[in-house]
Amino acid sequence: MFAYYFDLALRSFRRNKALTALMVLAIALGIGASMTTLTVFHVLSGDPIPNKSRQLFVAQLDPASKDGYIPGEEPADQMTRFDAETLLRQHRGVHQAMMTGGSAGIEPQQAGMDPFYADARYTSADFFQMFDAPFQYGNGWSGREDDKHERVAVIASDLNKKLFGGGNSVGKALRVNGHDFRIVGVLAPWRPTPKFYDMYNDRFGELEQVFVPFSTSRDLEMDRSGSMDCWDDHRDNDDPEGEAGVNAPCTWIQYWVELDTPAQVSAYHQYLVNYSDQQRASGRFERPTNVRLRDVMTWLDVNKIVPGDVRLQLWLAFGFLAVCLLNTVGLLLAKFLRRSSEIGVRRALGASRRAIFAQCLVEAGTIGLVGGVLGLGLALLGLWAVRQQPNSYNALAHLDVTMLLTTFLIAIVASLLAGLLPAWRACQVAPAIQLKSQ
Amino acid sequence: MELRPILTTLRRHKTASALIVLEIALSCAIICNAMFLISQRIDHLNRVSGLAENELVRVQLTGIGKDDNDVALTATDLAALRALPGVRDATVTNEVPFVNSSWNSSVNMSKDQQQPTLSSTVYMADDHFINSFGLKLVAGRNFGADELIDWKTFNAPNAKVAIPSVIITRSMADKLFPGQQAVGKSFYSWGDDPMRVVGVVEHLVRPSEQGGDVGHEYSMILPLRTPYTVGGNYVIRVTDPARRDEVLKAAIDTLKRNGPSRIILADNTMTFEALRAKYTQQDRSMVWLLVAVCIALLVVTALGIVGLASFWVQQRTKQIGVRRALGATRGQILRYFQTENFLLATLGIVLGMMLAYGINQLLMGKYELPRLPALYLPVGAVALWLLGQLSVLGPARRAAAVPPAVATRSV
């Protein structure tokens, strides 16, 4: 039966080429626009670390002074160095890491290569294990290297290719900021999307190229990059490190902890509350206790990871799709009602209303399928155009299998929905009237 | 023109009429909002920066590791840059507009204020800053060479150096000292001592999108002479905009020669025009996208109206034939269809306006947009009326061409 309906549909298309083409085009445009924006949205709102995102938490405290305090406000989204180092020392989580962004001046040992700057991350040892960082050669360092402020480094695969041709460079020297570091590990190509661990350093950009222990970075006074929020004058004390000092009244460090069970999560939350209370009792914290412990997806949500423009474009595309669908409804109505006499004949010969309805839906679905294929082509073109934009996240706009299937799903469902009203009107055609000679 | 027959006919073809009305309404709502967004973005793109943008180039560089000689090196850098041919002036500063990083500080009117009055960006400048950027002083004066403080002195641990003077923008002056002369007044920002306003510049935009629409020009210029290791921004103003690339190249060579173990950040080193273009790329893409969507919507709506109108004409061929046989002229048939379409379009536009305001309310809440100005409604209305009339013209002409003989046929 289905094949027969399909055949009828094709015949009808051939008879009304212009009308069919119009409908297919309208659906294709709507689908193309929607799928382009939906794919970009899908890429940007995805889970960067699916098998662990519910076990990784960012800890937030409220260490600032009473000045500028508004009750009910969110606590600081980064930590002071004092708090981060204290929490790290007390290590109440399964794993924990403190980190911040930075930049490293690399002086290649190879002749003929100019010195260049690379994005760096200063972190404690647990970073690699917590975030499932894939290693190509070697591995990360341990807490011992952190404590001894050793000059070790993990480099990313791009840097390894640039400096060492992609070979095993574990044990080799890397000259950073005029000091020699020993490479202990080389990461495999890795691009967490987004870089959820730091919201202030190009969220969708490429991975940092150099990872060094945080303690070492402070010894060598390496430049940091990211956001620093100071609520007081750090010049009030003698610390030569200034705003990056241990006691500086500045938040600039990201603190992540891995907790495996809900019991551990609530225990750690309580620990943060107790810690805040202690700090307030000792006079260091001035604000009421205000802690947060958020997992990866909640953290991304709070930080509004999907840019407003992308959301706006998504809604715009869906509005456009709605108009295209209304268009299709109208044109399908015109198409079916034009064939009233044919429908009348079929009904007179014994076709039930349901049969007519089904046949019309099949026709609508076929238009949706063809429109979907064309729309897929348009979406690929649209995504290509998006990738030409110089933004950091646009390079990630690729159609994956999920989005491919979604394209066809949306095309067929939308066209079936669009076809409901016209099909219903078509099957209401009274045979007797149509059979009269008019 | 009798409206009753038209309305009766429409009432009998409720579905098709409803579809046309809905399509026009939805198109109208989307197009009105899209046009509003376009104008917002264009306003944003055309914001006055206060700089002499077509005369400025920026070089950003950084050293490798610490440089204990940075202050002296910066001084020789600047001397060399100012001596280059084609250079009007040069300065070094911690931040520039049209980038995503900024230094910001809260501003208080009194020392023990709990909530800051506003947040302002901080430009650290020497006495060549205003001339290099091409800013326009509208009150007071520039810094004198004796007022400048070295950054290293100021930032040293336990240093109690007070910043005596500050230059602010007119926008900030109006907010802090409304209706008064700002020059001579003081406020508190960095440190415990008040800073006295010695000058007011007309415009100086903030880097990044700090401050939103209200505070996008809350900028203050402090007399802090920074070495190149703080931000590393050398800004050079040329005498002749046509020689910008030449001067940029010469500047890069000079800086490289002056301090060989430094890295020029090529991605951030360009003319200010290019810097602004790169920074506003996103807005421009959005404008093009919105324009494309508007055009596509109009095309799709037009095609929809053409399709449905053609169908209607075909349905009513006998009816038209009868009218023609009874003496209706072609013009009357044409006008019939035009009026019918006009009525539907009117209904659609009324619905569309309400929907447009509804959508605008949603956008206002989620994307911090102002309310849709009433101007867009008549513009959208006229556009869609015209569109409807043009679309129905073709089918209506075909209807008018139906010969009266058709009425007497029995098939």
Q: What is the pLDDT of residues B280-323, one digit of tens each?
A: 988 898 899 899 999 999 999 998 888 888 888 888 888 888 88
Of A105, A235, A334, the CB nearest to B263: A105
Determine which helix (DSSP H) or strand (DSSP E) holds A119, and give its type and residue range.
strand A116-123
Q: What is the pLDDT of residues B34-73, one digit of tens each?
A: 999 999 899 999 999 999 999 999 999 998 878 888 999 9
Contact A227, A252 (CB under 8 A): yes
Using DSSP's 3-state secondary structure scheme, residue A86 falls into helix
Is 0.95 surpassed by the pTM of this model?
no
> Would an 8 Å CB–CB cutoff place A178 in contact with chain B?
yes
Using DSSP's 3-state secondary structure scheme, residue A328 falls into helix
Q: What does the pLDDT average to over A305-321?
A: 91
A224: which DSSP letter?
E
Question: How far off is chain B from A68, nearest CA to CA, in Å?
Answer: 4
Q: What is the pLDDT of residues A257-289, one digit of tens each?
A: 999 999 999 999 999 999 999 999 999 999 999
Q: Which residue of B has its CA nearest to A321?
A: B297
Question: How far off is chain B from A436, nearest CA to CA, in Å?
Answer: 9
Domain that residue B147 falls in: 53-278
Same-domain pairing of B271 and B310: no
SS3 sequence, chain B?
CCHHHHHHHHHHCHHHHHHHHHHHHHHHHHHHHHHHHHHHHHHHHCCCCCCCHHHEEEEEEEECCCCCCHHHHHHHHHHHHHCCCCEEEEEEECCCCCCCCCCEEEEECCCCCCCCCEEEEEEECCCCHHHHHCCCEEEECCCCHHHCEEHHHHHCCCCCCCCCEEEEEHHHHHHHCCCCCCCCCEEECCCCCCEEEEEEECCCCCCCCCCCCCCCCCEEEECEECCCCCCCEEEEEECCHHHHHHHHHHHHHHHHHHCCCEEECHHHCEEHHHHHHHHCHHHHHHHHHHHHHHHHHHHHHHHHHHHHHHHHHHHCHHHHHHHHHCCCCHHHHHHHHHHHHHHHHHHHHHHHHHHHHHHHHHHHHHHCCCCCCCCHHHHHHHHHHHHHHHHHHHHHHHHHCCCHHHHHCCC
Q: What is the pLDDT of residues A392-407, one digit of tens each?
A: 788 888 888 999 999 9
Same-domain pairing of B273 and B298: no
Q: For residues B296 and A23, what is the distance between their CA atoms, to the nearest angstrom?
A: 14
Q: What is the pLDDT of residues A98-120, one digit of tens each?
A: 999 999 999 998 888 888 999 99
Residue A438 has pLDDT above 70, yes or no: no
What are the two backbone dihedrals, phi and then psi, of residue B120, each rounded to the nearest 5 degrees?
-130, 155
Contact B269, B59 (CB under 8 A): yes
Q: What does the pLDDT average to over B339-362?
A: 92
Given B246, B278, B310, the domain boundary residue is: B278
Same-domain pairing of B24 and B135: no
Same-domain pairing of B42 and B81: no
Same-domain pairing of B173 and B302: no
Of B156, B159, B307, the CB nearest to A331: B307
Predicted pLDDT of residue B374: 84
Interface probe with B: pick from A222, A250, A326, most Cβ of B within 10 Å: A326
- Sign of torsion over alpha carbons B252, B253, B255, B256: positive
CA B373 vs. chain centroid, Å, equals 17
Predicted pLDDT of residue B1: 61
Query: Which residues partner with B234 through β-bridges?
Result: B59, B92
Q: For residues B36 and B30, what is the distance between their CA atoms, to the nearest angstrom?
A: 10
Q: Which residue of B has its CA nearest to A107?
A: B64
How many residues are present in chain B? Answer: 411
Given B278, B307, B322, the domain boundary residue is: B278
- pLDDT greater at residue B203 or residue B375: B203
Q: Which two tokens stand for residue B396?
A: 């209506």
Other beta carbons within 10 angstroms of residue A242's beta carbon come to: 15
Same-domain pairing of B16 and B100: no
Same-domain pairing of B102 and B153: yes
Contact A125, A213 (CB under 8 A): yes
Distances (CA, A) of B192 to A4, A333, B150, B195: 87, 76, 18, 9
Predicted pLDDT of residue A437: 59
Q: What residue spans define the domains of chain A?
A: 2-45+307-435, 56-302
Q: Which two tokens stand for residue B373?
A: 């100005």
Q: For residues B175 and A393, what is the distance between their CA atoms, to the nearest angstrom?
A: 37
Average pLDDT, chain B: 90
- pLDDT greater at residue A414 or residue B407: A414
What are the two backbone dihedrals, phi and then psi, of residue A225, each rounded to the nearest 5 degrees?
-135, 140
Residue B411 has pLDDT above 70, yes or no: no
Q: What is the pLDDT of residues B199-223, one digit of tens each?
A: 999 999 999 878 888 889 999 999 9
ipTM comes to 0.87
Q: Are strands B149-150 and B224-225 parallel, antiparallel or unpaired?
A: parallel
Q: For residues A58 and A265, what is the distance between their CA atoms, to the nearest angstrom?
A: 11
Output the DSSP codes for A40-54.
HHHHHTS-SSTTTTT
Same-domain pairing of B184 and B78: yes
Residue A69 has pLDDT above 90, yes or no: no
Q: For residues A383 and A395, what is the distance between their CA atoms, to the nearest angstrom?
A: 10
Predicted pLDDT of residue B275: 94
Give rounded-to-5 percent helix, strand, coil for chain A.
Answer: 50, 15, 35
Same-domain pairing of B33 and B128: no
Q: Which residue of B has its CA nearest to A116?
A: B263
Q: Which two tokens stand for residue B193?
A: 């001592």
Q: What is the pLDDT of residues B379-395, one digit of tens each?
A: 888 988 999 999 888 88
The number of folded domains in chain B is 2
- Sign of torsion over alpha carbons A404, A409, A411, A412: positive
Helices B14-45, B281-315: inter-axial angle, 10-degree rounding: 160
Question: How far off is chain A from B124, nearest CA to CA, in Å?
Answer: 17
Of B65, B155, B263, the CB nearest to A116: B263
Predicted pLDDT of residue B188: 92
Other beta carbons within 10 angstroms of residue B95's beta carbon come to: 21
Question: How far off is chain A from B331, nearest CA to CA, in Å?
Answer: 25
Measuring CA to CA, which residue among A29, A313, A325, A32 is closest to residue B22?
A325
Given B249, B278, B307, the domain boundary residue is: B278
Q: What does the pLDDT average to over A351-363?
A: 91
Predicted pLDDT of residue B410: 59
Contact A57, A295 (CB under 8 A): yes
Contact A211, A118 (CB under 8 A): no
Range with lowest mean pLDDT among A90-94, B9-13, B168-172: B9-13
Predicted pLDDT of residue A156: 96
Same-domain pairing of B311 and B214: no
Of A221, A323, A338, the CB nearest to B23: A323
Residues of chain B with C-beta less than 8 angstroms from the C-beta of A221: 66
Other beta carbons within 10 angstroms of residue B376's beta carbon come to: 19
Same-domain pairing of B119 and B181: yes
Q: pLDDT above 70 covers what percent of chain A?
A: 99
Same-domain pairing of B199 and B319: no
Contact A78, A253 (CB under 8 A): yes
